[in-house]
Every structure is written in structure tokens, then in C-alpha cells.
Chains A and B, each alone.
Chain A
Amino acid sequence: MSNRNKVYWKGLEQLKNDPEYVKYAEKEFPDYLPINGNKQSADSSDEGSSRRDFLKMMGFSVAAASLAACEAPVRKAIPYLNKPVEIDPGVANYYASTYTQGGDYCSIVIKTREGRPIKIEGNKQCKLTAGGVSAQVEASVLSLYDQQRLTAPMASGQKSDWQTIDQQIKSALASSRNIRIVSQSILSPTTKKVINDFINRYPGTKHVVYDPQSSYGMVSANQQNFGKAVLPAYDFSKAEVIVSLDADFLGTWIAPVSYIKQYARRRKLSGSRKSMSRHYHFESNMSLTGSNADYRVPVKASQQGLIAAAVYNGLAAKSGAASLSVGQLEVPFLDKAVDALWSAKGKSLVVSGSNDPEVQMVVNAINDLLGNYGTTIDLEKPVNYRQGNDQEMSQFVDDVTGGRVDAVIFYNANPVYDHPQGGLLGTELEKVALKVSTSDRMDETASVCDFVAPDHHYLESWNDSEPQNGHISLTQPGITPLFNTRQVQASLLTWAGAPQTDYYKYLTETWKSVYFPGSGENDFETFWNQSLYNGVVEIATSSVQEPENSPEEDSSEETAGISFDPGMVSGQIQARYQSDNAETELVLYQKVGIGTGAQANNPWLQELPDPITKAVWDNYITVSQKFARENGLTMTEGKTKMANLTVNGVTVTAPILIQPGQANGTIGLALGYGRTSAGRVADGLGANAFALVDRSNGSLSYQITSGVTLEITSESHSIGQTQTHETYMGRETVIQEALLSEYQQDEYAGQFAPKIATWKGDEEKVAPHTVTLWKHHQDEYVNHHWGMSIDLNSCVGCGACTIACQAENNIPVVGRDEVLTRREMHWLRIDRYYSSVGVDDYSSLEQAAENPEVTFQPMMCQHCNNAPCETVCPVAATTHSTEGLNQMAYNRCIGTRYCANNCPYKVRRFNWFKYHDNDQFPENSSMNNTLGRMVLNPDVTVRARGVMEKCTMCVQRIQAGKLTAKQEGRRPTDSDVNTACASACPADAIVFGDMNNPESKIAKTLQIDYHEDRKEVAEPRAYTVLQELNVDPNIFYLRKIRNKDEENA
């Protein structure tokens, strides 16, 4: 938008116009021929292969081809011996189930083909996630087929059998007095019942719960304020003003899928609703949530407590409550946020990502002042996502060290890796006589255990879960267990000598006695089957008997108002926080893809570009632009230096990444990396930051404000970053945006309507589409006209669509080296643009990088009606369909790459290598081993080397949906056809459908007007990218609207 003098840039190199960036940018297609296949020496000036080599290769290929053609191989068709009635080869079955990973929850639908889960979809029946999924949930189907999973129980590192280890474990347990079960948060009430049974059998047992990313501070704050040790349920969709203090609720904080769903509802605009929520964000690292905020303020971690107190004091002054006596600090937009909150009393929400109980108490007090309890915050039906107790876990480590533990069972827990005291635990565990892990692999904890009783993958398990009180959902298996594994619950029941060791039966019996009586159904079978079918059940009250000491114990008590003692809290805050900390501060965070590292061995997640940095396969120390300048650091095309980061005596080594928006004086580092025993994909990637977590205050703190030293070494490193890879050659109108106030006055605000000159001269410029050599394809679209709309206003950039696309379309993983040479294969990328106002000279560059605005734009094949790629293909391998699709016939493609050169959106991907059945790409585990290949979608071709590929608009789903409709003798509707990206989107930002169908969601979103001879998109916010080229895409974007005031824009 030139009128505001706003500059869009993808990375610092572009902002600074770095020569190397320019070199690549001008080359546009910066690949070189990989004839030698030598990835390392590729950019050195080696001779390459000679003409003679080429002739040799040619001769050999011809001979090989003719030999191969002589006889067709005999292929076998092997039918079932006894075909299960519900399976028809070639027809997908869907099962409602539940994804849980510790306290992370998502209600899902498993798509299976011939009994193999191949794709995860969201479950629309669930009120919490409402059909949304996250990248981690989507990718979990590949973890099922992880080669590193244990195939049998292990005893002392050797394969054993269940009978043997059961016997040994039982006898060891019988002689143990102090037994500990260590687990992450357990959402399943029936599993808790199993643990209770175990405790009843072995009364010396204590259940210790911890979370790799702890929310214990919040739980204890609620305990002190309300007498309830719980996490409240939030409803962002009811909040008109949201203030977040470093809570990355759209990315990784507690339950992002639900929160995105709620948040996005208030970010949708239409002619009938022209208001949206306003979001203030105060944080140190640039997070996904911060990048979506209307006002993002970089602050130091050491200021968080004071900011919370300042907000409280501001509101207290307005309401007349007692204020906190803490130091003052100057933070931009803080007063504005306070005013906004006060004017939206009862319709606002303040959240904090801090794990400091004092800060959380202040936040509770703020929300109480605002009257948000009962509207945007629900304490009556708390959520169970995080139940970890930092103190108990700490006590456990002490007990182990002190030799006070005889036996320990780890369930879904890997504390040696993901607890700050993991290193200590790893060495001290040998003092425990019996150590049993139930990990699915030989992870860091399992390798120091005597026995490993491997658990099923969740897609092989029966279970239930209660993410929020009264909301129960069922996990049902999508496949029979692949290996000789056993569900932990069955193991615990066996070791406890329970009469019923079959967990499925145990589960149904529990449901029969607990949930069925209140369900109103007459017949348990009907109730059970209906619950399984829906995947979720809403019940009036949680009637499961909780184990004693459980946080839910007190949930039945009445909320008796907040008990908040300003004096005590201000003392603590004053002691811990300061406005002018001179030391470097470290803020540890999670990446959207890797999280706490539980699924680190999943190559899809490793290659998912981080939403902000767009870096893959690494963690790194994010530093501010100012820090970089002071230390003489530069970073171009991912080339950077390594640094040693020392926190209170613990040193980790990681590369430096200069991050615009990073608060000065702070640095960031992601958790979840540095696995040593997760498997082939994850081992050795990045550095383990868990050891740096601070635990001096009783609860774990991910913000370390003192004792941090950063020492830059001379060692070089390259970080694979995807964002600068595809360039639009300086065409900056790809992003269109406006302010809410402008939009309210003019729905077309921010529109870029290019005009082009004609022979009549400059005065009579016309719209590009009026001057064209193309015959209009649209006339041919009599049957269907598929189209897509992407709302830039509600897209938060979470990356679920990218992984959904990867799973649906058999997209290979290429590995870090290939990403460094710009050969990532994702069909759907999310472009992240920074923007800043008023960059016109070098002096303003740094300011621009201080705190840029961020825009996310999912970018895939635009299915242009006048597609430039189609005209240049010499073999007509890419053509246009009569349904508006730009089709790609792989078997016709000869790999000239003309199409990719001519594509203005740079969305075409070339298969530089054979990525399947190729030992050189071990990372690509979904195509390079027989186990991994089970995840491939049998309806989509695995592409060969040397062909182009790109988004097909999930044509296999379109065809399947049309067929369903034809078989039923009707026209297809929205429920028949949806693309993988649109169905995965937790924000419902992507809408796909048939634009010829006036009833479709896409027609309503784009407000299509149907004229006699043409259709017209009437939604004022809709635009197509690079309209001036008149390629006429079928993908529409809805302009981004920022809820900012004019003077701050």
C-alpha cells in the first residue's frame, strides 16, 4: 500500500538489500543442475560432468530401458483371506477418535484405507476443537509408522517377552515400599482409575505429574485466589479486547487449537459485521500470537510482572480497588490497553504465559476487576490440559537422589530429556531398584530403565479423555497394534494383578457404571456406539471418582470470589521484576511444530517451517537487530555463527538467528530440540534447552533474567530458512491490508486496483483484465468451478494446512541440505511478510526491524484461468480443466522447468531427486521404508525424479466427492468435497468449494453475483494476488484488516 509508505519485506536481507540476496533474487530460479548428486560440493566450482559422461549415461539408460521393457514383471493380487465386512479395498473408512499427547488434546477423525490410518481430520462434533487440528496432530499419523518404535518389550536393553518382564516387574514391585508413577498430565479419567487401582494394590505408590512446559504457576495462583487448583476455560470468541502477556495462545500455550477457533471467530469481517476484537500483546520473543496481534510491544521478560501490575493498577485506579505498590515503568500502548480493557468490561480477557504464581494472581485480579469470570473465563468447568505439579516433581528428583524410591514407572514421560533436572535424574536413577519405562521407543529415560514395556501409539489404543470437565471424548484405534506392544493401562492392571487386564473391557465397564447411567439412553450398547461414532460426549457433571490429592477434587466447591492480597503480591513482584535489567535475558519457547519434542522424530514436523523464522530442522538463539549490530553479526541466506549460551553453569551451543521484533536485551531459544535418543531423524538436531529452565522459585520458569551469557564463536553454521526462497521480483501488492476504521468507512479500503497503459496513452489506462489475448476459460466452466478463498484476517499462520497437505498429497521431506539449496517441496507454503512504515533511508532500517508488523499468506498454486505455466509447457503436461483447475500430468512432464520459471507465484516444485526408495534421503521416512510407506495416500501418485509438481486443489478429493454425488444421483455439496488444507484450518480461514453453486460456502464468502454470462466476486475485501498480470487466479484472498488506531498505524 503505497499511500501509507509501508514497506513489505520477507527477511532482513531483503530489507537491507544485501548483495547476496539480490544475487539470488535476480536469478529468480536459483537452482543449479545436480548432475553429480553431490550435495555438499554443489556450490563449489567443481567441473560437473562431461559430455562423455552424458553419453555413457545415455547409452546405459537406453540399454536398461529396452531390457526392462522386454518382459513385464509378474504382479500379484492378494485378496483378504477373510475380508472384514466394514473394509472395502479402495474405500476409505473414518473413525472418530481423540489425539492426546500429555495434556494436549484434539478430537479427530481417522481416515483409514485398507485398515491403515493415512490421514487425520478434525472432528466437527467436538465443541472444543470444532474440526480444527494443529500441525502436530496432523503429523501424528506418521509417528505411528516410525521405524524407531520398539517392537517388543525390553529387559536390560534386550528384547524380551511380556510374560517374563511381567513376572520380574511384579516380583520387584512386591518387594518395593516406595513406588512412583511419573507421568505427564493425564486427560483420561479411566486411566486415572487404573492408576488408583494400582495404588490400592501397592499403597506405597505415589503418582507424580509434571508437564514439560509447566503451567503450575497458574494452577497454584488459582488455588490461592479461588481455592481451586485448576486451569480455567477461556473463551476468546467472547472477548472484544485481549491482552496477552507473553502467552502464545495461538501457537503453543495450553490448547491452541481451541483458542485459534475462538479467536478467529472474532477476526472475521463481513458486510454485516464490521467489528473485530482488538489484541494487545506484550512479549520478548516474536511469537505466532504476537505476530497476529494488533498492537505488539516487545518487552523484557524481567518486566512482565511490572506490566501485569501496571495493568492492574490502571484498572484499580478506575474501579477504586487497592493498588499494588510496585515500581513504575514506561511501556508503549500500556495505557491504551488499560483503557480498552476498562471500556470492554466483561467482554475482555487478559492472559499471561508466565509460570510465576504471583504474576498469575495479578492477572486473576485483573480479570476479576474486569468482571470476566463467568463470561470469557469459566472456572466452573475448568480444563484439565495441564495438571503437572512442579514441586512434587522436584520432590521426586530429590527422593531419587536421596535413595528414597524403590521403584518407578514412567508413563508417557521422558523427564531425563524434558525436565530441567533431567541430567541429574539420568545419573541418579541407578539408585532406584526397579525402573520401568512405557515409552514407545528407547528414549533418553527408557535407556536408563531396566524394563521397557512399550505403549501402543494412540492410533492403536482404546482410551477416553476429559479435556474439560463434562466434556468426554473417546479414543478408538484405527489399526490393530503393529508391534508386540501393550497399552500402559493394561500393563498397570497386569502388574497390579487386577481381575480385568483387558483395558478395552475395563474401559467399557467403567463407562457402563459411570457415564451410562446419566446419559438418558436405555441401552449401553447404543450409548457406547453413539459415543464412539460422535467421538465426544457432553455430560452434566464429571462423575468419575478422582484419585485423592487430584486437583479436580475441589471442583465441586462454589466459587467464593477472589481472595487477593495486594500487599503480599506487590512485595514478591517488586523483588522479582525490574524495569531496567541490564543483563541479557533468555526466554525459552516452544516451536509450533516440535513443541516439547515428544514428536521430534517426525520429519514432517522437523521440516515444517517455523511460522515466524521460517527455519527448519534446527533450533537457534534469536537475537535482536540491535544486538547483532553491536556484536558485528550478519546473517544472509541462513549463514550465521554458532554461539555458546551459558546459564548458571550450563552451556549449550546453538546458531544465532537475527529476529526482527525480538525485544532488545533478550534472546530466545526453542525447547524440544537436542534429542539424543529419539531416533534417526531427531537425534543431534539443535540443542536441548530444558536444562536451562530456571526452578529457583518453586515453579519452573522459562524466563531466565540473570546469569545468562552469550559468547559468539567463530564457527559457521547455515540455518535452512524458506521464506526468502521464492521471490515476486519486487511486486509488493501481494499483501493488501487496511485499518479497521478505514474498512468501516470504505469496504474497499486498501484495495490495489492496477491500471495498465494502452495505445491511447497514459490518460486512458484500463483495468488489466480488459486487455487480453486470452480466450476466457470461464465460459467453459459449465459443470463445476472450483475456487478458494483465504481470509488473511483470520489466518494465524499456524501451519496445520501445510502438514495436512503434506499428508494428503504424499509430499516428500527433503532434509536440511536440500532446503538450504532451495529445494523444499511443500505445495502449500505460508509466506510471512514483515512490514514497517516509513522506511525510506538506512537510518530507519533498524527501527523497522525493531518491531515490524507481520502478515501471513498461505500460498499455493493459484489455479489461474490464464495460467502462464500452461502456455510455456512444450509437452502440454500442464493444462486447464473445464472445472477451473490447473492440471499437472506427471507422466507427461519432461522436466524442462519452464512452467516454474514462468509462474509468478513460484509455487511449482521440481523433483530434483528420486526422494522415495532412496537411501540418500533417510529423513523422508514416509517413502523410504516399508513401515513408513503405509502412510502414503494410495489415491495420489508418488512423483518420480525429474517432474514438476504443485497443488492440485486435492483433485483426488474432488473426484471422490463428485463420484459420491453421482452415485446418489445429486449435485455435490460442500460436505462432499473439501481440500485437505481447508478442512484442517483451525481458524476456518480457508474456504473451498464450487463457485458455480450459489448455495456453497465459497459463493457466500465471496458474495458471488451470478449474471447471465458470467460470475462476479462482489466481496469488497476479496482480491487476487498480482492482479496486474491478469492471470486471473481462482484463489481469492480477503484483505487483512488491522484493528489499530490511525495514529499508531
Chain B
Amino acid sequence: MFATLRPVGCHLLPILVFFFLSLTSVRAQSDSTGTEVASDTSTVETATSQGGISDEAVIAEGESLFNANCRVCHAVDQQLVGPALAGVYDRRDMDWIKSFVKNSQAVIASGDDYAVSLYEDYNQTAMPSFNFSDTEVESIIAYVRAEAEKEPEVTAAAGDTPGVSSQATEGPSNFLTVIIVGLVIVLALILVVLFLIINFLTKFLEKREGLDSADREIIAQKFSLGKLVKKPAFVGIVAFVFGIFVLKSVIDGLYQVGIQQGYAPKQPIAFSHKLHAGQYEIDCNYCHTGVRKSKSANIPSANICMNCHGQILTESPEIQKIYAAIENDQPIEWVRVHNLPDLAYFNHAQHVAVGGQECQTCHGEIQEMEVVEQYAPLTMGWCINCHKETNVNTKGNAYYDNLVELHAQHSKEPLKVEDIGGLECAKCHY
């Protein structure tokens, strides 16, 4: 009988193990669904972009011209400083477009009704003249046409995708909660059932005659918490576990002192990198003007904002804050997110212009961030690690020629930052 009683506790363990295993697998599953969805969207995009295009090269040329010259004021499907360009080829004929692009002022001055009304509608902002050839204008229009045609499909796909991806991203958490709650209920039920069985069996055994004294003692045995707690072994174990726990948290805590990874303070103006850098793909350099020439990347000054927001979204309360700042002659006080201590010298130009590093390497997927947060820990260990792993961007830079040659004489590995003194104190501390 004794033997029959023991396994009850033993069975609990496998159940718990199963429970955790199932949890992890669910998480893994949900992750993989996420990636699948993402790759689906990309296939959708490639599929559409391949369809219905006559001349890839013309469109590619048009795209680069558009990005270099037009994007600041125009989008295909959205009104920015100037009108959305989708359908322009339908609205006006090609000759009109060409002459307007080449010299809009002349067209307006000639009294062209459409041009004049356009000029009036857009706050009398004249479009600068562009010295394009006819074929170049045509290529831009071809690009706009191609974009506009794929636009609805992509938007449709994009319309779907966020849905899926939001499911995918929120999925794990919702799904998990349901499973966990379910499992907890099941476990509780099992516990209750087991407890009832024990009770029932004990009562049954008590009534039964003919048990020897030893067995009876076991039956009569009452579970006593007090006794267990007083056992030195138990106290010892608990104290040990507690001690380890405290020590670990203290060490972890100390390592976290001054580290603000994930720090995402509320900014005075709800500027979204996701919108500007992500959706509109504005080059980081456009606003962070110092990133290639100075140690600091520069928080953009208000006049950079006004390059676009002199026209765009002028009614938005957030944009109004910029106007207020300019009117009151009071600079905007952004909250500094990346606080490198004063004792460390960091130079953006060295890393971006010379080292060829992407912004994302240290700042994370900034184009996805609604509110900027500190992505990297910015600890010395993190810096050092990168300097150990990163190859020096030596290509086409005569500064490194001799160093590469010397390095190649005794190593087959590419030249790393640490090989040229990248771990020395006075490279960052002076």
C-alpha cells in the first residue's frame, strides 16, 4: 500500500515539465508564423513590381531622379509640399508636364489656367526649375506611373499585412495567456482531484481492520508545516537559495547602474522616426547633419523641421509646438536619450563616414521606433566587443593601405579594429 501512495507526487513533475515545454514550443511557433507572414509580404511586393512593367531601366533611372530631386516635396500618392503625382500623366499631357518641370514660373506667367490654379492652391509656392532632358522627365513619369499602378495592390497587401503582423506580434501574448490560464485551471483541478483521492483513501484505510502498527502510523501521520520548517536542512537550503538569489540580484543591479538600455523618455514633441525615417525614408543625414563630419550627429535645429513643415501638416498641434518655439525664440528642449558619460569620447564621423557603420548598428531599428529608445547598452564592454569583432573599413582608404599590408603578413584574418589599437584607453578616454 505504501508503494501505491508514493507515485502521486512523482507524477506531478512530468506534468510540470510538459507544461513548460508546451509553453516554449508555442512561443517558437508564434515566432515562426511572424517570419512567414513577413516573407509572404515581400513575395507579394516582388510579384507586383514585376508585373506590367515595360522598361526596368527607365523606371530605375526615374526612381533615382525622383528620389534625388522630387521626393522632398512630392509623393506618388500623397500630398506633401506639392500635389500627389499619381495620375498626373492623365491629368495633363506630357508636353505640359515637361515645360512645367523645366520652368514652372514661365508656365504660370504664360497664364496657363491649370498652372495658375495649381500655384494658388499650393500657397503660391513656386516649384523650382529643373534642368532635365525630355527623356529624364519621361523616366520620372514612368516611375511615377509604375509606382501608382502597383500602389493599390501594395496598399492592399500592406493593409492585409499589418493585420496579420499585428496578429502575429500580439498573437503570442494573447495565445499564451489563454494557454497558461487553461493549464493553470487544469493543474488546479488535478490537484483538487488528487487531494480528494488521498482523503478518500486515507478514510478508507482508517476504517479497514488488520493493518499493522507501522502502517497505521503512516495513516495517522498528519502533514505538519511547522515541523518541516524547523528542520535544519530545510532552513539551510532555503537560506542558501535566498542568499544566492540576493547575491545575483545585487550583482545584476550593480551592473545595471547607469545603464539605460531601453530608455525611451517622452519627448516634448511626439516626433516619430517610424514615420519620417521608416515610412518616408528620409535619409538620416538630412536632419542629423553632423553625422558624417562631427563627433556629434546633431539634434536637428528647428529650421530643418521647417524645410518641410513650413508646408506640411501646419495645423497639427505637434507641429504647432515648433512654430511656438520659433516665435518665442525658445529652442526645443529634447530629452537626451543616449547619455554617454563625459569621460568617454565618441565620434560619429569616425564610425559612420570612415568606418561605414549603419546607424542601426548602435541605434537599433530606428526606422521602426515611434518613440526613440536606447537600443544598445552603451557600456564599455559593448564598445569593446564591437571593436573586437568589426573589420576595419579599409577599402579605398589610403590611410590603411600600409596597415593592411603589414597585417596580412602575419595573419589571415581581416584587419579588425582591435588590430589597429582600437582597444587602447586613449582612443576614447582623454
Interface residues of A (CB under 8 A from B): 69, 72, 74-83, 88-91, 782-783, 877, 879, 881-883, 885, 887-892, 939-942, 952, 955-956, 959, 962-963, 965-967, 969-972
Q: Which segment of B64-72, B185-193, B329-337 sits at the interface?
A: B329-337
New A-B pairs, 13, CB < 8 Å, besides A79-B302, A939-B430, A941-B429 = A74-B265, A81-B302, A82-B301, A83-B304, A882-B424, A885-B426, A887-B426, A890-B343, A891-B343, A955-B426, A963-B354, A967-B349, A969-B399
Quick check: B301 and A970 within 8 Å, CB to CB? Answer: no
B325 at the interface (CB under 8 A from A): yes
Quick check: B430 and A75 within 8 Å, CB to CB? Answer: no
| Residues of B contacting A76 in the complex (Cβ-Cβ under 8 angstroms) | 333-336
A888, A955, A966: the one contacting B397 at CB < 8 Å is A966
A and B contact pairs by CB, cutoff 8 A, 15 listed: A72-B339, A79-B299, A81-B302, A81-B331, A89-B290, A90-B290, A782-B402, A783-B403, A881-B425, A881-B426, A887-B424, A887-B429, A892-B425, A955-B430, A969-B397
What's the minimum C-beta distance from B148 to chain A, rounded to whole angstroms? Answer: 37
Quick check: B290 and A91 within 8 Å, CB to CB? Answer: yes
Contact with A along B267-308 (1 / 0, CB 8 A): 000000000000000000000011001111011111110000
| Residues of B contacting A883 in the complex (Cβ-Cβ under 8 angstroms) | 421
Whose C-beta in chain B lies nearest to the C-beta of A944? B343
A81, A881, A942, A969: the one contacting B301 at CB < 8 Å is A81
- Using known A-B contacts A69-B258, A72-B258, determine if residue A88 contacts B298 with beta carbons closer than 8 Å: yes
- Using known A-B contacts A77-B334, A91-B290, A955-B430, determine if residue A966 contacts B339 with beta carbons closer than 8 Å: no
- Using known A-B contacts A75-B335, A965-B399, determine if residue A959 contacts B427 with beta carbons closer than 8 Å: yes
C-alpha spacing A958/B274, complex, angstroms: 39
Which of B304, B350, B430 has most chain A Cβ within 10 Å? B430
- Using known A-B contacts A69-B258, A78-B333, A83-B303, determine if residue A882 contacts B296 with beta carbons closer than 8 Å: no
Whose C-beta in chain A lies nearest to the C-beta of B396? A969
- Using known A-B contacts A941-B342, A966-B350, A966-B399, determine if residue A91 contacts B299 with beta carbons closer than 8 Å: no
C-alpha spacing A959/B330, complex, angstroms: 35
- Using known A-B contacts A88-B293, A90-B290, A941-B343, determine if residue A79 contacts B298 with beta carbons closer than 8 Å: yes
B336, B347, B421: the one contacting A77 at CB < 8 Å is B336
Whose C-beta in chain A lies nearest to the C-beta of B299? A79
B290, B336, B429: the one contacting A75 at CB < 8 Å is B336
What's the minimum C-beta distance from A877 to chain B, rounded to whole angstroms? Answer: 8
B132 at the interface (CB under 8 A from A): no
Quick check: A963 and B425 within 8 Å, CB to CB? Answer: no
| Residues of B contacting A939 in the complex (Cβ-Cβ under 8 angstroms) | 295, 345, 430
SS class of chain B's interface: helix, strand, loop or mixed?
Answer: loop
A78, A891, A966: the one contacting B334 at CB < 8 Å is A78
Interface residues on B, range: 35 or more
C-alpha spacing A971/B424, complex, angstroms: 20
A83, A89, A91, A956: the one contacting B430 at CB < 8 Å is A956
C-alpha spacing A962/B406, complex, angstroms: 19
| Residues of A contacting B336 in the complex (Cβ-Cβ under 8 angstroms) | 74-77
C-alpha spacing A411/B426, complex, angstroms: 48
Leading 4 A-B pairs by shortest Cβ distance:
A90-B294, A887-B426, A83-B301, A80-B301
Quick check: B303 and A82 within 8 Å, CB to CB? Answer: yes
B257 at the interface (CB under 8 A from A): yes
Which of A76, A81, A783, A952 has most chain B Cβ within 10 Å? A81
C-alpha spacing A79/B290, complex, angstroms: 12
Quick check: A81 and B326 within 8 Å, CB to CB? Answer: yes
B398 at the interface (CB under 8 A from A): yes
Whose C-beta in chain B lies nearest to the C-beta of A965? B399
- Using known A-B contacts A69-B257, A963-B349, determine if residue A89 contacts B429 with beta carbons closer than 8 Å: no
B353 at the interface (CB under 8 A from A): yes
- Using known A-B contacts A80-B301, A81-B325, determine if residue A952 contacts B345 with beta carbons closer than 8 Å: no
Quick check: A971 and B399 within 8 Å, CB to CB? Answer: yes
B169 at the interface (CB under 8 A from A): no
Which of A79, A882, A970 has most chain B Cβ within 10 Å? A79
C-alpha spacing A187/B300, complex, angstroms: 43
C-alpha spacing A620/B265, complex, angstroms: 60
Quick check: A78 and B290 within 8 Å, CB to CB? Answer: no
B48 at the interface (CB under 8 A from A): no
Quick check: B296 and A89 within 8 Å, CB to CB? Answer: yes
- Using known A-B contacts A89-B298, A890-B343, determine if residue A79 contacts B334 with beta carbons closer than 8 Å: yes
- Using known A-B contacts A79-B300, A91-B294, determine if residue A966 contacts B421 with beta carbons closer than 8 Å: no
Interface residues of B (CB under 8 A from A): 257-258, 260, 263, 265, 289-290, 293-296, 298-304, 325-326, 329-336, 339, 341-343, 345, 347, 349-350, 353-354, 396-399, 402-403, 406, 420-421, 424-427, 429-430
Quick check: A75 and B339 within 8 Å, CB to CB? Answer: yes
C-alpha spacing A959/B302, complex, angstroms: 31
Quick check: A940 and B399 within 8 Å, CB to CB? Answer: no
| Residues of A contacting B330 in the complex (Cβ-Cβ under 8 angstroms) | 81
| Residues of A contacting B263 in the complex (Cβ-Cβ under 8 angstroms) | 72
Quick check: A783 and B421 within 8 Å, CB to CB? Answer: yes
- Using known A-B contacts A91-B290, A91-B293, A969-B398, determine if residue A881 contacts B335 with beta carbons closer than 8 Å: no
C-alpha spacing A78/B302, complex, angstroms: 10
C-alpha spacing A941/B345, complex, angstroms: 9
Quick check: B397 and A80 within 8 Å, CB to CB? Answer: no
What's the minimum C-beta distance from B223 to chain A, rounded to whole angstroms? Answer: 43
What's the minimum C-beta distance from B374 to chain A, rounded to whole angstroms? Answer: 11
What's the minimum C-beta distance from A972 to chain B, rounded to whole angstroms? Answer: 8
Whose C-beta in chain B lies nearest to the C-beta of A958? B426
| Residues of A contacting B345 in the complex (Cβ-Cβ under 8 angstroms) | 939, 956, 959
Which of A891, A892, A962 has most chain B Cβ within 10 Å? A891
| Residues of A contacting B265 in the complex (Cβ-Cβ under 8 angstroms) | 74
C-alpha spacing A972/B354, complex, angstroms: 14
What's the minimum C-beta distance from A992 to chain B, rounded to whole angstroms? Answer: 16
What's the minimum C-beta distance from A65 to chain B, rounded to whole angstroms? Answer: 9
| Residues of B contacting A889 in the complex (Cβ-Cβ under 8 angstroms) | 425-426, 429
C-alpha spacing A727/B300, complex, angstroms: 53
C-alpha spacing A967/B398, complex, angstroms: 10
| Residues of A contacting B343 in the complex (Cβ-Cβ under 8 angstroms) | 890-891, 941
| Residues of A contacting B332 in the complex (Cβ-Cβ under 8 angstroms) | 78-79, 81
Quick check: A966 and B335 within 8 Å, CB to CB? Answer: no
C-alpha spacing A891/B426, complex, angstroms: 11
Quick check: A940 and B430 within 8 Å, CB to CB? Answer: yes
What's the minimum C-beta distance from A63 to chain B, rounded to whole angstroms? Answer: 14
| Residues of B contacting A888 in the complex (Cβ-Cβ under 8 angstroms) | 425-426
Quick check: A90 and B398 within 8 Å, CB to CB? Answer: no
C-alpha spacing A69/B259, complex, angstroms: 10
| Residues of B contacting A80 in the complex (Cβ-Cβ under 8 angstroms) | 301-303, 331
| Residues of B contacting A891 in the complex (Cβ-Cβ under 8 angstroms) | 341, 343, 429
| Residues of B contacting A783 in the complex (Cβ-Cβ under 8 angstroms) | 403, 420-421
C-alpha spacing A76/B268, complex, angstroms: 11
Quick check: A890 and B300 within 8 Å, CB to CB? Answer: no
- Using known A-B contacts A90-B296, A892-B425, A971-B399, determine if residue A966 contacts B258 with beta carbons closer than 8 Å: no
Whose C-beta in chain A lies nearest to the C-beta of B341? A891
- Using known A-B contacts A782-B406, A881-B426, A963-B350, determine if residue A74 contacts B302 with beta carbons closer than 8 Å: no
| Residues of B contacting A81 in the complex (Cβ-Cβ under 8 angstroms) | 301-303, 325-326, 329-332
Whose C-beta in chain A lies nearest to the C-beta of B300? A79
What's the minimum C-beta distance from A936 to chain B, rounded to whole angstroms? Answer: 11
A89, A941, A942, A967: the one contacting B354 at CB < 8 Å is A967
C-alpha spacing A940/B429, complex, angstroms: 9
Whose C-beta in chain B lies nearest to the C-beta of A953? B426
C-alpha spacing A847/B61, complex, angstroms: 90
Whose C-beta in chain A lies nearest to the C-beta of B429? A889
What's the minimum C-beta distance from B228 to chain A, rounded to whole angstroms? Answer: 37
Which of A75, A890, A939, A966 has most chain B Cβ within 10 Å? A966
C-alpha spacing A887/B426, complex, angstroms: 6
| Residues of A contacting B303 in the complex (Cβ-Cβ under 8 angstroms) | 80-83
C-alpha spacing A877/B343, complex, angstroms: 13
Whose C-beta in chain B lies nearest to the C-beta of A971? B399
Quick check: A881 and B298 within 8 Å, CB to CB? Answer: no
